[in-house]
């Protein structure tokens, strides 16, 4: 009864969730970063299995570089990146566990009880999808996409501005 | 059936690239050189460092190989000779090749060695430098072909090869490709002089063999990609399509291996600076030019 | 209400739950950012699922996914900016030490 | 300098000199008294030539002080001056060995000048002032030997009794001034009706106090504790005379009822004090009692409506009694005590002094050639001639009889018996003073017609009065000489000893109630004081309670409030801990709540 697609989705979803959990259970920081990377890749694969090809490929590509950068930051900032000292890096576990499960159950409740309406027809093939997405992006949603672009720009500038070591002007001190 | 053919042609290609690489590195042409070294490696004892992170240590070479192979999947060696003709083929190639970075990171972090780790993080710095430089030329090429299908791209070069249509794009792409395949002058992760083999340093035996094989496949894929995007793929006057693509690929691979031998290894900071301050503006300029050309020429 | 949609939504919810757990339980800023990343990923999955199973024909759904991806990118960028500044100022990014507004 | 001024100021200036120089007090005193005597004699001669002199001093606004030398006042002033001089001469000898002579002579001179001003005063205010001054001098002089036991009590008693009686004088003066509007004595005399009666009665009270009449006669016997010259001058001639003088000057104003009262009081006093004199054990106290009885006779005369007889008797009595006192003084010095038991036979030891004493005694009793006879007969004639003769006549006769009796008793005791007499120092001065006074006492009788012509009034004559008087006098003398006082009085003897104190006398009637009232007032005052203290303490208590409640109640409340808010703040602060993960948790819970409420509202609607 469940289609191949459903299986694929379930499989990749399960992989994503397992990697997600692995992120917070490992004590080694690099391992948790790469776990997150593979979880994102699994999500990319889910997109592909849902025939959103462009998005899947995009997700996979982006997350690779992003998460590796995350990894290097982890190494830079964490006290014990190797995780050899089995340091306890968490606090208020109980509360967060409860809230996490509540969030999960709420979302599931919404997913199950809401009537999503009729299922859609089959999606167009990948090439046409990409074409239509391209037209959509530079057509109707041009403004939205431009703002998104500019936001990323400002974010980058802001991040670098914040991160730059304050210039030690000679006049200071 | 086509996949089998592709695989066959790939193995032959890889072997030849290995021969070329052996020729370029130690100066004399021995057709059996890769075979001998492979057999030697397989015979050696495979050592695992004490505190190594087993998962990373084991997975790194394999991931390198698979990402290279996945990259090769979308490259059309001949009009019908392609594993899968994805609608977003060009982008997929890039996505696949992104995992080379992950593989090298894992190879660097896995064996818990100082040089390996430094090598791994160096390659991350290197990737950050040219990551954009690969995507933007491909975009320019896709603009000309008005589609991400690799076969479409090759077909669009029927009249004029992209190398002539957008030479700037070709130069940027070729440099980025060499950096991605970490051939000298971009061989920062396995810097022989400084890091004593760097990422490869800790590997011995079978893992090293797989690692090297992965690297050879990576070089082959990149060469094939260059051929597909800029040198008109399988198009050529007399010879059959697969012969043209083979010749072109081997030529590009050879140039890749030879081009950087004379140059000193580029330090990461310079690489980053040139990549972002010089490379990206040029790439944007290239896109602009291609856009104009596409609109102007019918 | 197809099973595929349900499984996708459940995955999204699970990812969201794990993300919330991670964000609340970790003491390190970078780990909290990873938690947030997971939450956003959960949202992504839901969006794609909605696009695929409810309105596959309209590209707007996909466009929305792109926007969320931008958000993830922005969040990463700013997060690391703050992390670097914090690291430079205090030498560590442990969130428990960051309870003072001063400095 | 007007004569009036000199008569008053001479003794005063001498007093001041004595107090300043503290040397030769006797000499200064005699010169001062002498000058005063000459001035007063000048006044008397002026009065004879009807050239009365008056002096006006600026007193209160509208009430000037007047000094007038009318024939009556001039006569009295000269009387005072003469007797004062002679007593001072005597005192020089008497006080020759006393260390505090300056103080004695200064006070005596002050008294003489005060008496002169009283006698010469023309208006009530000056009279009052002088009246108070002589009261003061009597107090000072009685208490002269204040270290001796009983002297201080006697001085205070005398002062208190006279002072309380003076109240009557004050009220009378106020009433008179109020009714007539002026303080001149002559003008006030013609007031009539009820005010006159009230004024007269009040004056009578003052006279009873000053002249030691019956209810208030006790202070005079105790006043004998002072030195003898004092008794001689003050308590026989001048001070006690002030009361009689007052009545004599205001006689025209006295209405008949008042006269009757005066007569009765006078009569009772003569009889009572006469009996006391009979029962006395002390020579000076005997003479004091006799003084009261003689002044009783004078009051009887005034009551009978003939003030002239009272005046004459006053003059005669002044001379006689002072000589008797001076004689007693000599006897006191010779025997060291005045008790009759001690003085037995001193007469024989001092024959010349005793001779003078006998002459004066006989004069007092009223034997013809001497002055006493003429004045006493005048009084008896006046009583017989007056309207209420049946009441006053017998009293007067009884008085004369008693006088004769106690004087004879005294002579008897002084003559019989024997004792060791000591040499008396300063006998010369004392003798000359005594001799002068005895001569005066004997010779005054002849001067009476001249006085009558001076005052322009005729004495009532009557052979019946003369017979009665002579008979009473001689009977009294024989009785006194032959029968002992104890058997004479018989049952009355113990009572007389105590001075006829009725149920405890003055002490029980006045002193004890006064003390009781005082104690009552003191108790009331203490209770009031305690009451005030209690209220004060109550107020303090309330204040302390308020402060306590304020501090404990309100302050504690406020501090509790403060602590409450602080705790609340602490609890709230935990919410704002600034820990990122805590705040994330709160946001998650918040969003969950919001989500739930939205869900519920959706489901509900």
Question: Which residue has tokens 């005694």?
Answer: D361
CB contact under 8 A, B91 and A57: yes
- The answer to whether residue C86 scores a pLDDT higher than 90 is no
**Contact B96/B89 with Cβ under 8 angstroms?**
no
Coil vs helix vs strand at D425 = coil
Coil vs helix vs strand at A107 = helix
Condensed to tens digits (0 to 9), the pLDDT of residues B182-207 reads 888 888 888 777 777 788 888 888 88
How far apart are the C-alpha atoms of D261 and D243, rounded to whole Å?
15
Condensed to tens digits (0 to 9), the pLDDT of residues B61-112 reads 999 999 999 999 888 888 878 888 888 888 899 999 999 999 998 898 888 8
- The answer to whether residue D323 scores a pLDDT higher than 70 is yes
The DSSP symbol for D483 reads S
Sign of CA dihedral D357, D361, D364, D368: negative
**Contact D247/D299 with Cβ under 8 angstroms?**
yes
Domain with B282, as residue range(s), is 2-296
How far apart are the C-alpha atoms of D460 and B101, rounded to whole Å?
173
How far apart are the C-alpha atoms of A103 and D519, rounded to whole Å?
101
Read off the pLDDT band of D409 (50, 70, 90).
Answer: confident
Peptide bond before residue B185 is cis, with ω within 30 degrees of 0: yes
Domain with C63, as residue range(s), is 3-92
Write out the DSSP string of D390-420.
HHHHHHHHHHHHHHHHHHHHHHHHHHSS---
Highest mean pLDDT (candidates C79-88, D414-423, D530-539): D530-539
**Contact C59/D541 with Cβ under 8 angstroms?**
no
**Contact C37/A36 with Cβ under 8 angstroms?**
yes
Average pLDDT, chain D: 84
Question: Which residue has tokens 């959509």?
Answer: A136
Q: How far is C102 from chain A (nearest CA, A)?
A: 17
Coil vs helix vs strand at D24 = coil
Condensed to tens digits (0 to 9), the pLDDT of residues D433-465 reads 888 888 888 888 788 887 777 777 777 777 777
Nearest CA in chain A to B51: A84
CB contact under 8 A, C26 and D581: yes
Tell me which of A41, A61, A81 to substitute to probe the interface with B (most B C-beta atoms closer than 10 Å). A61
More confident: D492 or D381: D381
Does the residue C12 lie in any domain? yes
Coil vs helix vs strand at B297 = coil
Q: Which residues pair with D179 in a beta bridge?
A: none
Helix (H) or strand (E) holding D55: strand D54-60
Q: Which residues pair with B16 in a beta bridge?
A: none
Query: Which residues have C-beta within 8 Å of that of residue D294, sequence separation ≥ 6?
Result: D270, D313, D317, D321, D364, D403
Tell me which of C28, C95, C103 to substitute to probe the interface with D (most D C-beta atoms closer than 10 Å). C95
CATH number at residue C48: 1.10.287.3510
- The answer to whether residue D424 scores a pLDDT higher than 80 is no
- The answer to whether residue A167 scores a pLDDT higher than 80 is no
How far apart are the C-alpha atoms of D447 and D468, rounded to whole Å?
23
Backbone region of residue A52 per phi and psi (left: phi > 0; alpha: psi in -120 to 50; beta: other values): beta
More confident: A115 or B289: B289
- The answer to whether residue D490 scores a pLDDT higher than 80 is no
% of chain D beyond a pLDDT of 90: 5
Does the residue C100 lie in any domain? no
The answer to whether the predicted template modeling score (pTM) of the entire model surpasses 0.90 is: no
- Burial label, B159 (beta-carbon count in 10 A; 0-12, 13-18, 19+): exposed
Highest mean pLDDT (candidates C46-50, C94-98, D475-479): C46-50
- The answer to whether residue D559 scores a pLDDT higher than 80 is yes
**Contact B154/B89 with Cβ under 8 angstroms?**
no
Chain C residues with beta carbon closer than 8 angstroms to that of A127: none
How far apart are the C-alpha atoms of D321 and D375, rounded to whole Å?
14
Chain A residues with beta carbon closer than 8 angstroms to that of C24: 92, 95-96, 99-100
Look at chain B and report how many structural domains it folds into: 1
C-alpha count within 13 angstroms, C-beta hemisphere, residue A55: 32
Q: Which residues pair with D56 in a beta bridge?
A: D66
Chain B residues with beta carbon closer than 8 angstroms to that of A127: 87, 147-149
Read off the pLDDT band of D285 (50, 70, 90).
Answer: confident
- The answer to whether residue C16 scores a pLDDT higher than 90 is yes
> What's the Cα-to-Cα distance from D177 to each of D100, D174, D254, rounded to whole Å?
42, 5, 16
Read off the pLDDT band of D503 (50, 70, 90).
Answer: low
- The answer to whether residue D209 scores a pLDDT higher than 60 is yes
B51 CB within 8 Å of a chain A CB: yes
Backbone region of residue D424 per phi and psi (left: phi > 0; alpha: psi in -120 to 50; beta: other values): beta
CB contact under 8 A, A43 and C15: yes
Q: What is the mean pLDDT of residues A84-112?
A: 82
Give the pLDDT confidence score for residue C28 in this predicted structure: 83
How far apart are the C-alpha atoms of C103 and D104, rounded to whole Å?
107
Give the end-to-end CA distance of chain D in Å, rounded to a whole number.
134
Nearest Cβ partner for A120 among C57, C60, C74: C57
The tokens for D559 are 């501090």
User: Does ipTM exceed 0.85?
Assistant: no
Query: Which residues have C-beta within 8 Å of that of residue C65, sequence separation ≥ 6?
Result: A52, A55, C44, C47, C48, C51
Look at chain C and report how many structural domains it folds into: 1
């Amino acid at each position: 009864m469940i289609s191949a697609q459903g299986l694929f989705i379930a499989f990749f979803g399960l992989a994503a969730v397992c990697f997600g959990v692995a992120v917070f259970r490992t004590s080694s920081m690099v391992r948790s970063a790469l776990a997150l990377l593979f979880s994102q890749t699994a999500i990319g694969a889910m997109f592909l299995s849902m025939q959103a090809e462009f998005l899947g490929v995009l997700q996979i590509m982006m997350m690779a570089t992003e998460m590796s950068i995350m990894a290097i930051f982890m190494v830079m900032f964490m006290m014990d990146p190797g995780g050899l000292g089995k340091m306890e890096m968490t606090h208020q576990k109980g509360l967060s566990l409860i809230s996490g499960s509540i969030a999960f159950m709420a979302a599931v409740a919404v997913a199950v009880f809401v009537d999503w309406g009729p299922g859609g027809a089959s999606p167009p093939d990948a090439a046409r999808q990409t074409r239509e997405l391209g037209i959509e992006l530079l057509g109707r949603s041009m403004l939205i996409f431009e703002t998104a672009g500019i936001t990323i720009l400002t974010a980058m500038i802001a991040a670098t501005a914040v991160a730059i070591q304050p210039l030690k002007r000679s006049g200071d001190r | 059936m086509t996949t089998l053919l592709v695989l066959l042609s790939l193995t032959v290609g890889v072997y030849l690239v290995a021969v070329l690489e052996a020729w370029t590195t130690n100066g004399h042409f021995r057709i059996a050189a890769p075979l001998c070294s492979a057999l030697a490696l397989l015979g050696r004892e495979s050592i695992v460092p004490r505190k190594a992170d087993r998962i990373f240590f084991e997975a790194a070479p394999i991931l390198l190989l698979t990402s290279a192979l996945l990259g090769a999947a979308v490259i059309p060696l001949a009009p019908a000779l392609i594993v899968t003709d994805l609608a977003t083929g060009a982008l997929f190639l890039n996505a696949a090749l992104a995992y080379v970075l992950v593989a090298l990171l894992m190879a660097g972090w896995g064996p818990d060695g100082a040089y390996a780790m430094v090598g791994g993080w160096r390659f991350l710095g290197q990737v950050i430098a040219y990551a954009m430089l690969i995507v933007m030329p491909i975009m320019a090429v896709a603009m000309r072909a008005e589609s991400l299908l690799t076969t479409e791209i090759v077909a669009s070069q029927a009249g004029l090869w992209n190398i002539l249509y957008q030479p700037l794009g070709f130069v940027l792409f070729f440099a980025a490709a060499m950096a991605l395949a970490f051939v000298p002058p971009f061989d920062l992760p396995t810097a022989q002089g400084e890091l004593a083999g760097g990422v490869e340093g800790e590997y011995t035996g079978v893992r090293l063999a797989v690692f090297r094989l992965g690297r050879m496949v990576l070089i082959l894929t990149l060469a094939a990609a260059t051929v597909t995007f800029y040198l008109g793929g399988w198009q050529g006057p007399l010879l059959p399509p697969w012969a043209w693509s083979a010749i072109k690929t081997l030529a590009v691979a050879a140039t890749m291996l030879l081009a950087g031998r004379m140059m000193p290894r580029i330090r990461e900071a310079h690489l980053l600076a040139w990549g972002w301050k010089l490379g990206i503006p040029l790439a944007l300029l290239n896109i602009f030019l291609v856009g104009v050309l596409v609109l102007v020429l019918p | 209400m197809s099973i595929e949609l349900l499984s996708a939504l459940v995955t999204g919810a699970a990812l969201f739950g794990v993300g919330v757990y991670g964000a609340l339980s970790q003491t390190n800023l970078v780990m909290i950012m990873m938690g947030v990343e997971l939450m956003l990923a959960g949202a992504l999955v839901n969006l794609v699922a909605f696009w695929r199973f409810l309105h596959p024909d309209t590209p707007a759904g996909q466009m929305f996914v792109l926007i969320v991806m931008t958000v993830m990118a922005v969040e990463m960028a700013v997060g690391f900016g703050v992390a670097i500044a914090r690291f430079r100022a205090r030498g560590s990014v442990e969130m428990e030490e960051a309870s003072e507004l001063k400095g | 300098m007007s004569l009036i001024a000199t008569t008053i100021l001479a003794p005063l200036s001498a007093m001041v000199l004595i107090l300043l120089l503290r040397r030769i007090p006797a000499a200064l005193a005699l010169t001062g008294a002498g000058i005063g005597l000459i001035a007063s004699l000048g006044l008397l001669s002026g009065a004879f030539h009807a050239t009365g002199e008056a002096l006006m001093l600026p007193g209160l606004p509208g009430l000037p002080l007047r000094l007038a030398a009318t024939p009556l006042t001039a006569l009295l002033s000269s009387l005072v001056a003469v007797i004062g001089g002679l007593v001072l001469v005597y005192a020089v000898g008497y006080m020759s060995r006393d260390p505090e002579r300056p103080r004695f002579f200064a006070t005596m001179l002050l008294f003489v000048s005060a008496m002169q001003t009283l006698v010469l005063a023309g208006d009530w205010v000056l009279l009052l002032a002088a009246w108070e001054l002589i009261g003061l001098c009597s107090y000072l002089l009685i208490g002269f030997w204040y270290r001796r036991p009983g002297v201080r009590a006697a001085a205070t008693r005398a002062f208190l009794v006279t002072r309380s009686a003076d109240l009557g004088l004050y009220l009378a003066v106020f009433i008179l001034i109020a009714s007539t509007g002026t303080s001149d004595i002559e003008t006030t005399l013609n007031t009539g009706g009820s005010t006159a009666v009230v004024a007269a009665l009040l004056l009578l009270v003052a006279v009873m106090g000053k002249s030691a009449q019956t209810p208030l006669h006790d202070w005079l016997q105790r006043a004998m504790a002072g030195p003898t010259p004092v008794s001689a001058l003050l308590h026989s001639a001048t001070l006690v005379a002030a009361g009689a003088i007052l009545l004599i000057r205001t006689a025209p104003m006295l209405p008949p009822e008042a006269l009757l009262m005066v007569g009765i009081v006078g009569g009772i006093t003569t009889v009572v004090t006469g009996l006391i004199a009979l029962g006395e054990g002390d020579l000076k106290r005997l003479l004091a009692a006799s003084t009261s009885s003689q002044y009783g006779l004078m009051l009887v005369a005034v009551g009978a409506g003939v003030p002239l007889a009272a005046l004459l008797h006053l003059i005669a009595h002044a001379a006689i009694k002072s000589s008797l006192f001076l004689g007693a003084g000599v006897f006191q010095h010779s025997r060291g005590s005045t008790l009759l038991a001690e003085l037995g036979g001193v007469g024989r030891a001092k024959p010349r002094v005793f001779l003078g004493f006998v002459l004066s005694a006989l004069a007092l009793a009223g034997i013809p050639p001497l002055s006493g006879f003429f004045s006493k007969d005048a009084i008896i004639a006046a009583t017989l001639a007056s309207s209420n003769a049946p009441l006053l006549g017998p009293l007067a006769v009884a008085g004369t009889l008693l006088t004769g009796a106690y004087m004879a008793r005294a002579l008897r005791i002084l003559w019989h018996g024997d004792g060791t007499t000591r040499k008396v120092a300063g006998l010369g001065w004392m003798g000359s003073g005594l001799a002068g006074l005895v001569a005066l006492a004997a010779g005054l009788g002849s001067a009476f017609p001249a006085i009558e012509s001076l005052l322009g009034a005729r004495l009532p004559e009557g052979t019946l009065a003369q017979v009665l008087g002579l008979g009473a006098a001689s009977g009294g003398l024989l009785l006194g000489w032959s029968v002992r006082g104890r058997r004479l009085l018989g049952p009355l003897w113990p009572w007389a000893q105590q001075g006829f104190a009725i149920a405890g006398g003055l002490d029980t009637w006045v002193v004890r109630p006064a003390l009781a009232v005082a104690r009552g007032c003191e108790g009331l005052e203490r209770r009031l004081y305690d009451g005030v203290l209690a209220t004060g303490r109550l107020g303090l208590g309330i204040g302390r309670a308020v402060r306590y409640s304020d501090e404990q109640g309100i302050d504690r409340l406020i501090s509790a409030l403060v602590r409450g808010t602080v705790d609340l703040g602490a609890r709230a602060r935990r919410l704002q801990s600034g820990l990122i993960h805590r705040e994330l948790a709160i946001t998650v819970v918040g969003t969950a709540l919001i989500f739930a409420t939205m869900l519920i509202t959706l489901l509900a609607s």
